């Protein structure tokens, strides 16, 4: 039996109430375990697209499937377990008195209890390197630590797909690298929305560029980032002197 794609989007269209067409017939397939960077200028439709991946928005046309499950009113609860979203601001996800309570909230809401819930929480915190902070108050943690706890709250749901919104924002170099290492070690399919092109290269192997509600480029991330004309045409830029091919070789040697 053929394994379904992690994400299958066919002809997806969405128009906002003010008449702005945000998605113009998006078709996208992501295989299980892929790590995909979703790039593009502000207003390209990136956020609108990812909000369709867990049923927060409903398209005007087309379809979305996650791990073979079509998104529909009667599947939204299952879809939101399958797709975990990590927001740019971790404070949007952390609202309990302790880290442990925050990480337990989602699985407990889906009926997990007792030792099973405890193990789920401990395992998620272990993956992100925050097990020692389980009984601390989230607001006492650094931005990088809070972002890793926010990731743990999602991993505790054991999703198939992770969607990350600007995961490197406001992180210091150590925080960036620790989070990147965690993300590279995960088995889940990852979709990363980011303007940080070097960070996208560090974590992802494939890149999509969106502009004006359409996917205008799709391919290996090193090739996409090496196309300076493509980046300029879509209002994207790399740091001066940054060479994607050299950066990838250095990263490979470090690993």
Model confidence at 252, pLDDT cuts 50, 70, 90, reads low
**CB contact at 8 A, 206 and 221:** yes
Q: Is residue 33 part of a domain?
A: yes
Q: Is residue 2 part of a domain?
A: no
**CB contact at 8 A, 53 and 224:** no
Looking at residue 255, what is its pLDDT?
53
| CB atoms closer than 10 angstroms to residue 80 | 19
**CB contact at 8 A, 35 and 14:** no
DSSP secondary structure letter of residue 130:
-
The rounded distance, in Å, linking the Cα atoms of 100 and 103 is 5
**CB contact at 8 A, 20 and 71:** no
Residue 5 confidence (pLDDT) above 90: yes
89: left (phi over 0), alpha (psi -120 to 50) or beta: beta
Burial of 98 (0-12, 13-18, 19+ CB in 10 A): middle
Residue 62 confidence (pLDDT) above 90: yes
**CB contact at 8 A, 193 and 166:** yes
Q: What is the CATH number of the domain that holds 95?
A: 3.40.50.300
Residue 83's nearest CA partner among 4, 157, 29 is 157
107 vs 249: which has the higher pLDDT:
107
The rounded distance, in Å, linking the Cα atoms of 89 and 47 is 14
Provide the whole-model pTM: 0.91
Q: Could you tell me what percent of the chain has a pLDDT over 70?
A: 96
166: left (phi over 0), alpha (psi -120 to 50) or beta: left
Looking at residue 1, what is its pLDDT?
67
Q: What is the pLDDT of residues 101-118, one digit of tens each?
A: 999 999 999 999 999 999
Looking at residue 118, what is its pLDDT?
96
Looking at residue 154, what is its pLDDT?
96
Q: Is residue 248 part of a domain?
A: yes
Domain count, the chain: 1
Residue 251's nearest CA partner among 75, 33, 242, 214 is 242
Q: Is residue 44 part of a domain?
A: yes
Model confidence at 22, pLDDT cuts 50, 70, 90, reads very high
SS3 84: strand
Looking at residue 253, what is its pLDDT?
46
Q: What is the mean pLDDT of the chain?
A: 93
The rounded distance, in Å, linking the Cα atoms of 206 and 223 is 9
Q: Is residue 1 part of a domain?
A: no
DSSP secondary structure letter of residue 116:
H
Average pLDDT score over residue span 126-153: 94
**106: containing domain:** 7-254
Q: What is the pLDDT of residues 159-214, one digit of tens each?
A: 999 999 999 998 999 989 999 999 999 999 999 999 999 999 999 999 999 999 99
249 vs 12: which has the higher pLDDT:
12
Q: Taking the chain, what is the end-to-end CA distance rounded to the nearest angstrom? A: 35
Q: Is residue 213 part of a domain?
A: yes
Burial of 146 (0-12, 13-18, 19+ CB in 10 A): buried
């Amino acid at each position: 039996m053929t394994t379904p794609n992690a994400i299958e989007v066919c002809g997806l269209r969405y128009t906002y109430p003010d008449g702005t067409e945000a998605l113009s017939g998006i078709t996208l397939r992501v295989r299980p375990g892929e790590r995909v960077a979703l790039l593009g200028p502000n207003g390209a439709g990136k956020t609108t697209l990812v909000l369709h991946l867990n049923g927060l928005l409903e398209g005007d046309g087309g379809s979305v499937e996650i791990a073979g499950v079509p998104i529909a009113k009667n599947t939204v609860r299952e879809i939101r377990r399958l797709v975990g979203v990590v927001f740019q601001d971790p404070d949007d996800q952390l609202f309990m008195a302790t880290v442990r309570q925050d990480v337990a909230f989602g699985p407990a809401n889906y009926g997990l209890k007792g030792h099973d819930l405890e193990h789920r929480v401990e395992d998620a915190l272990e993956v992100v390197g925050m097990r020692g902070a389980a009984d601390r108050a989230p607001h006492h943690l650094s931005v990088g630590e809070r972002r890793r706890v926010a990731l743990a709250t999602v991993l505790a749901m054991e999703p198939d797909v992770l969607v990350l919104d600007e995961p490197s924002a406001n992180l210091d170099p150590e925080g960036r690298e620790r989070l990147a290492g965690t993300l590279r070690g995960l088995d889940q399919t990852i979709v990363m929305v980011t303007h940080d092109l070097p960070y996208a290269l560090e974590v992802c192997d494939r890149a999509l560029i969106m502009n004006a509600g359409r996917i205008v480029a799709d391919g290996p991330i090193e090739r996409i980032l090496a196309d300076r004309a493509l980046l300029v045409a879509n209002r994207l830029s790399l740091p001066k002197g940054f060479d994607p091919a050299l950066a990838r070789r250095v990263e490979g040697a470090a690993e």
